[in-house]
A and B are shown apart, each in its own frame.
Chain A
Amino acid sequence: MASLKDMQFVIHDLFDAAGLFHRLTGDDSMDRAFINSLLDEAHRYTEGAIRPCNRAGDEVGCRLKDGVVTTPPGFREAYRGFIDGGWAGLLGPVEYGGQDLPATFGLLLEELMCTANMAFSMYPGLSRGCVHALMKHGSEEHKRMFLPRLLTGEWTGTMCLTEPQAGSDVGLARTRAVVRADGTWSITGTKIFISAGEHDLSDNIIHLVLARTEGSPAGTRGISMFVVPKFDVDGSRNKVTCSAIENKMGIHGNATCVLNFEEARGYLVGAEQHGMKYMFTMMNSARIGVGLQGVSLAQAGFELSSAYAHERLQMRSLSGPKAPDKPADPIVVHPDVRRMLLSQRAFIEGGRALAYFASQCVDTLLLSSDVQEIQRSQDLLDFLTPVVKGFLTEGGFASVNDALQIFGGHGYIRESGIEQLVRDSRITLIYEGTTQIQGLDLLARKVLLTQGKGLNRLLPELSQVAASCDAQFPEMAQRLRAIAEEWPAISLQIGGKAMQNPDEVGSAAVDYLFYSGYALLAWLWARMAVCAGDRILDGGEVDYLAGKIDLARFYYARILPRLNAHRDSMLAGGDSLMNVHASVLMANR
């Protein structure tokens, strides 16, 4: 399977994850053979149990009757396999029944699951966030109450932030929490867009809910976090009910719920009014996962469209027939079809490298005992997270649209399965903070506020990779050096303007996000080219590795030039946006 091989190239050849785990933990059991066997096993599970119910997930979707949600055919069995395989506990602490593996293992599993069936993969995906938040901020008692079953997968989790009037602006949330005599809380309010908020896969659902306690200040500072289990610890049904599920563009197999909390019993997580901070720890890890969803769906699109491009016979190659015994040549001979295939591939492999690099930062900061190394990883991760989320989901959507285009008219027909990927992937640009929110987070918080902490950690890496390219790939080295100069210069320039006018940040943010994404992929593609070249000299598989170098060249020649447009567009500044009269932005002209 091509994607496993590509995943192994990134994990082993490019990043030597096994070496990193050994160095950080002193434990050499997580070696390449172990990683490969886990990958194989995960792949067997995802292909055997999850992919087969992906189409039914889309066609049948979820049904709600009397507050009970029925998931699509096959989902319950597939989830049973998830529990039985022990996949839910991959990352959790041993004392609560987990296997305590580094975060990268979770990412490998998530990628395979999402490629096979995104809607299904979201059920356990949300549990992971819940575990994460409880681990980090929950009391010992709460951990004992909730973690063991979450880590077997018998229970699943959610995160309940959004309300009808409060989407990107969480500070507008109105859900109330009133303390009870026994120290628990009474939660009342309505949450919308709650993924996996109600379903029939698990025995219990553990909601993490943002709400306001009495007398708390307005805005995000007044928000606290509560655990609200569907079935309370004594087994009684808590007063949280699903009143509707949404009809959506895609991910039909995942129930998006309206949840009503009517004096439901809740348990305060951590301290009062710290909810937003806690939610962010959860959200940051979720954002890496969502970014990887972009890559995973692109991988699914590539698998379908590349198979189609090799089978579908249509027109002759302009340079002479390539399949003279057939009525026409396979469309893979046509330059524009190749451009679309290569664009997908360059995005997928570059994007995968970026997501796993971020994941290595997570592992390092959690496992290292070296303060400087921890700080470095934290700085990098802070910087990379919004890029991973924003850039990889945007790129994923563009990629599945290329895949659909290769199918021509057949791509528009549901049974081809490719249009489902376009519909499914569209949500990734929206949830867990829209692309716009990621752009602002990157430019305002991660670059300008920290004076480029994360970026400054990266720039020497770019120069170092440029130096390693000099001999074999001089044109890449040259581009990379130019980026290493231009990127901080642009950041400074925008920072200067932002001092005068705060709107300059938002005006540049999304272009800056894209610029950063393309720049990071340039760095990683150069690394991959060098790595592939080294592996060839070591006697690696020449055809396969030469393919990486080809993709790197394609990326530099055809994709990377997009930097230029984003640079000039953001440097043009905000005047053309902000000096526009409001009437120009209104419907009636």
Chain B
Amino acid sequence: MDYQPPERDIEFLLNRVFCLAEEWSGTPSLEDFTADVLSAVVAEGGRVAREVLAPLNRIADTEGCRWVDGAVTTPPGFKSAFSEFAAGGWLGLSGNPDFAGQGMPKTLGCVVEEMFWAANPSLYLYGTLSVGAALCIDSHGTPSQKQVYLPRLYAGTWTGTMCLTEAHAGTDLGIIRTRAEPRPDGTWSITGTKIFITSGEHDLAANIIHLVLARLPDAPGGTRGISLFIVPKYLHDDSGQVGKRNPASSGSIEHKMGIHGSATNVMNFDGATGYLIGEANAGLACMFTMMNYERLSVGLQGLGASEAAWQFASRYARERLQSRSPSGIQNPAAAADPLLVHPDVRRMLLTIRAWTEGGRAFAMLVGRELDRSKFQGNRQAQVFSELLTPIAKAFLTDKGFESAVLAQQIYGGHGYISEWGVEQLVRDSRIAQIYEGTNGVQAMDLIGRKVLRDGGTTLRAFLATLSPHDLTEEFRAAFNDGINRLLRTTEALAKRSAQDVNLPGAVATDYLELSALVIFAWLWGRMAETAIGTPLAESKLQTARFYYARLLPRILSLEAAIAASSDVVMGPDPASFE
């Protein structure tokens, strides 16, 4: 697909809805990010997405990765594209400036990441894992570890991985078996097999830095007995000069539904040399730093998929001529009218648009909270970002998949044929609902840890920041109704779950969607309001009206389903549905 960066919408959000240059003007480390700088970064990121990444998206799928004797060859063109991409400094965008990172705000990172994901998810995966690994090392590594790894990860000459999953341990990391034995020189010997390791082996970088979860010999059971290690593919000295090959190798790569250009490896660690990062037995906490970053990033993958879906579908709906409009011929010069005259095609297109632009605003909202926390020391913002992260991961990826499926539907039979590219989008986007914690796990995180643990206090505080007065008047009543339903539901859940330990899990998925739909309602009303007087006024108002009329009603169903007792889920004997 010929990808077009959605620059206009991004700039609208940056400058009109969130007024970021203004917000940052009093913060010394962010003062340089004026509207002009933001605009330049967006334009260049968009160019890279369009010109460097997008052209390789089809071949990523058709050629895929190849594994021969432990070496992985990426699809043709990936190597030079990745170098060019990395040379642009995109991996160090939000990186630590003390180690050659650019120290840019996360909000801006969200914007460019979305474009990279939309243009070529399997190529960008090599990048996002490096960014996550760098973040983890920056947060928990020693000064010398930072010195060696960060500049190279930011430059993309080395890349990173996260090695958590084992064949028997996916969501449940507490049962991993990979062992770490101490050596006299203070390093560790790592032995075990990890699966589903994205970018575990490939030909894009000179070295690969694995962050590996393993158990010390005397570690307590469960998640409290897990430590995190740095295990480089090639051992190196303090100056980063690489030497001997570490016995950390790829045993095979998986044949997957999609993202064929991304190598998913089985990694065998056979007494590989590892370096402890962070405290012993505190590995899971360290890994969560990385995982939280990755979760937002995967949410952005979902958003990128929505945008790609939009571009596929809106073009096809304009070009494809099929049947006449029910209200009379619209295109008399041709044998049929373009698809977009048909009401249900419009419904699908507007649904994609509402998820995409609403999702972009939502992602930026999360980015803003992260920046307020990191750069302005705002504790409340930190808590809000933690509240919103599982929603970003789950809802944006659910809607990314939904959008891709709708785009495919608009293509009709052609959508099922590989050469059109839209079925690849469906397959590629499906993984985002699973990895970095399935969306079920996100839903449990939201309802259990983020909402009910403090009796809904954080949620109420966050919702209080979404003022109905910020919205165009026609949306206020419906938004208030939505907020009230969410608050009532939350309050009732807090009470009911005190007596029923299974209730939060039984309704978690529906609850996450309910929360997201209400927050999106605010964002749509807000975008409609701030667009007044701009060239986007009409499109924002009309899409907002569509959202309120046709998508927001989903909260009624969710509210009613959540009101059900957990007995309907937990009561039936599992043996009866074997």
A residues with CB within 8 A of B = 2, 162, 165-169, 171-172, 192-193, 246-250, 306-307, 309-310, 313-315, 318-319, 327-328, 332-342, 345, 397, 401, 404-405, 408-415, 419, 422-423, 426-427, 429-431, 434-436, 439-440, 501-503, 505-507, 509-510, 543-544, 546-547, 550-551, 553-554, 557-559, 561-569, 572-589
Contact = CB atoms under 8 A, between A and B. Distances in A.
Interface string B309-352: 01100110110011101110000000110001011111101100
B569 to A, nearest CB: 5
Given A404-B430, A429-B409, 11 more contacts: A328-B175, A342-B569, A430-B412, A434-B412, A436-B342, A543-B575, A553-B571, A561-B560, A569-B551, A572-B549, A589-B539
Contacts of A318: 501-502, 505
B344 A436 contact: yes
B569 A247 contact: no
B573 A413 contact: no
B506 A336 contact: yes
A167 B413 contact: yes
Given A430-B413, A584-B543, A345 B505 contact: no
Interface string B563-575: 0111011111111
B170 A557 contact: no
Given A408-B434, A554-B568, A561-B561, A162 B413 contact: yes
Contact of B327 (A250, A503, A580, A588): A503
Contacts of A328: 172, 174-175
Given A314-B171, A429-B409, A558-B564, A587 B310 contact: yes
Nearest to B339: A168
Contacts of A419: 256-257, 430
Contacts of A558: 561, 564, 568-569
Interface string B527-549: 00000000010110011011011
Chain A contact surface mostly: helix
Interface of B: 4, 6, 8-9, 165, 168-172, 174-175, 195-196, 254-258, 310-311, 314-315, 317-318, 321-323, 325-327, 335-336, 340, 342-347, 349-350, 353, 405, 408-409, 412-419, 423, 426-427, 430-431, 433-435, 438-440, 443-444, 501-506, 508-509, 536, 538-539, 542-543, 545-546, 548-551, 553-561, 564-566, 568-578
Given A249-B416, A409-B165, A578-B343, A423 B257 contact: yes
A557 B503 CA distance: 14
Contacts, number: 303
A171 B335 CA distance: 10
B560 A246 contact: no
Contacts of A409: 165, 170, 195-196, 434-435
A315 B577 contact: no
Given A165-B321, A588-B4, A339 B569 contact: yes
A248 B417 contact: yes
A337 B440 contact: yes
A503 B340 CA distance: 12
A335 B569 contact: yes
29 contacts: A249-B416, A313-B172, A314-B170, A327-B168, A335-B503, A338-B506, A339-B569, A341-B577, A342-B568, A405-B438, A405-B439, A408-B434, A413-B256, A414-B256, A431-B413, A434-B412, A440-B344, A502-B326, A503-B327, A510-B347, A550-B573, A557-B565, A559-B561, A569-B551, A576-B546, A577-B343, A578-B346, A581-B538, A582-B340
B165 A577 contact: no
Contact of B542 (A502, A553, A581): A581
A231 B551 CA distance: 53
A426 B423 CA distance: 10
Nearest to B543: A584
Given A319-B502, A405-B439, A584 B542 contact: yes
Nearest to B441: A336
A167 B409 CA distance: 13
Contact of A249 (B168, B426, B504): B426
A422 B172 contact: no
A248 B557 contact: no
A342 to B, nearest CB: 6
A206 to B, nearest CB: 22
Given A167-B322, A405-B434, A564-B553, A501 B327 contact: yes
A371 B501 CA distance: 58
A31 to B, nearest CB: 28
Contacts of B506: 335-336, 338-339
Contact of A408 (B170, B554, B573): B170
Contact of A314 (B172, B504, B549): B172
10 A-B pairs closest in CB distance: A506-B343, A335-B505, A561-B560, A557-B564, A568-B553, A572-B549, A547-B576, A550-B572, A419-B257, A249-B423
Contacts of B554: 565, 569
Contact of A423 (B427, B549, B576): B427
Contacts of A166: 322
Contacts of A246: 417-418
A577 to B, nearest CB: 4
Contacts of B175: 313-314, 327-328
B557 A249 contact: no
B257 A505 contact: no
A579 B542 contact: yes
A470 B200 CA distance: 61
Given A318-B502, A502-B327, A338 B569 contact: yes
A141 B261 CA distance: 56
Contacts of B568: 342, 550, 553-554, 557-558
B327 to A, nearest CB: 5
A577 B343 CA distance: 6
Contacts of B427: 249, 423
A335 B502 contact: yes
